[in-house]
Structure 1
């Protein structure tokens, strides 16, 4: 039994059922029954057309589960009247519809992520729960609520690609926990989306993911502690992923439809291109952050820009840029500590590192900042 094949076919089959008129929850129930039937039948009687087999069986299960005969006939009549698109167009439309459905604006970000992993990614509820370090029952309730929310949703307007990309980026940023590598899963799903839709920001997000993921092996020391970008062993970076990410980014930028993910990927590419931290082109990075500020006006982008200004024009210029920002922005205190250390104010920097450690969002970051404070205090 080819489990990878079943997993890859699940989203497109589920999307066909939804397009034919099944509500989301009923369609997934029918899909799960079809998968169970495939596990039972395929080892001894494999189908010639795996996707067609799954669609046929799942649609029959859905019809069998329909309680009212009139509802069943109405759905069948609508299906008979529906014009049949070409196979390639149908596959693209179905895949996109499922992405848009799972990223529907009526869902919370956490629910949209969970539903995307379940319906598009084909992960089990248990796998998703383990990845998010929550009980399986909790994740099952979250996914059930999400399915109820989107049940009956019909697309009479084009879906919002930007919302889909934000959901995929949330998945990517969860990284790795348990037996599910969410960063790798996000890259897989974004590749799938890029194959279904020709959009420069989809390419920009895929490039950004590949460039960030390329540095993964160098981000932590053997003891699990964080290694800052400037101190990473660049020989451990994945040059294949970097080359692919840069190529995808260059192709997207050539279309002259700049978006925030393309700009973020350009920053990541400049870091990846530098042989050493000292050779980083910080002036050009500041220029890309200026573009990002124009595109998003995000406080976090402005914070990152302050760091880049501190590297390009000196720590006092960075502190001046930082002074214009709200100090409640996450990691503001850590940036202030770093820039003060660069400016030689070691006592102030040590105090700020300690304060930043108390505000850190996770244990690894807290330990890193605590060590920075201890290092300066020791001096």
Structure 2
């Protein structure tokens, strides 16, 4: 099961959708986008079919890490266990709202003890037939075969199914009849946060499809030259172009949509080293804002950005031109007058004048007033001149 939730910042009203379970860097990045911490309100819904339509479970105003823990438990549930969870949730919701700790405890019980039981049945009539065919009605345990058959032939299956369902407090979900026994207290209330990734990039590499034996090798970056050499030795090749990349993860989620080739691994490693440094110095958000401000994202551009991080600063509190414009207005203007001014248009003009880029992480402010794209073009020109001089020497 996969849960899609909506994160919301109650102060700024910023919202964004995210799928769970998610890695630490994905959650961290999402919270940075909406300028909030882990106490953010989060809500989501999970649906499942039943004999009469749809069963939906709702989670509102939950800690996002608590939601993520629940999603990490249920993500590997098969069809039966998913039906059991939805059925158990529905049964409990008949007695009142189900909070996230209760939902986590239900999931843990299904995962470990399977205390929520299910049997194949679409509706009450189907349930009655199942119980009669499998001798599951205690009142008929001691009757003769003839008497049993007479009862079967003269029973209103719909009414019998309704009585069984009411007696057992059962419900129908996704073609299953679900009942719930007493749950064990398996959840201690401690919120399990995902571990911070010990890498900047993680590559999954192997042989090209025409020479693919199905084996994969995980390569975390940054890595030393010796560690990369050992990868080649382990895979019994002389160079990375003999291999292919199959999967790519990054603590900068935007990069996971970036195209690259296995031959770029040394450039990726240099980039990973720089990003690891930015993470230690607290400049990672500034760098991510610089990436967000690019017109096109490719490996060369994001690598060159590393040389420009010291030239910029990030203001996370300004997420739009209106907010930025209000702060640029003269201090002597009364607050009530600002309500009648087009602060968004004013903020946009002042931002253009000051070379400010508005990103999802906040306002990216150049310390010398030179906009990011102009700064990047200047760097590219210097690099091109250096290459030209090197070729003529």
Shared fold per TM-score greater than 0.5: no
Coarse TM-score class (shorter-chain normalised): under 0.3
Relative contact order, CA 8 A, sep 6+: which one is greater?
2
Mark the structure with the bigger radius of gyration. Answer: 2
TM-score when normalising by structure 1: 0.23
Give TM-score, length-normalised by structure 2: 0.22
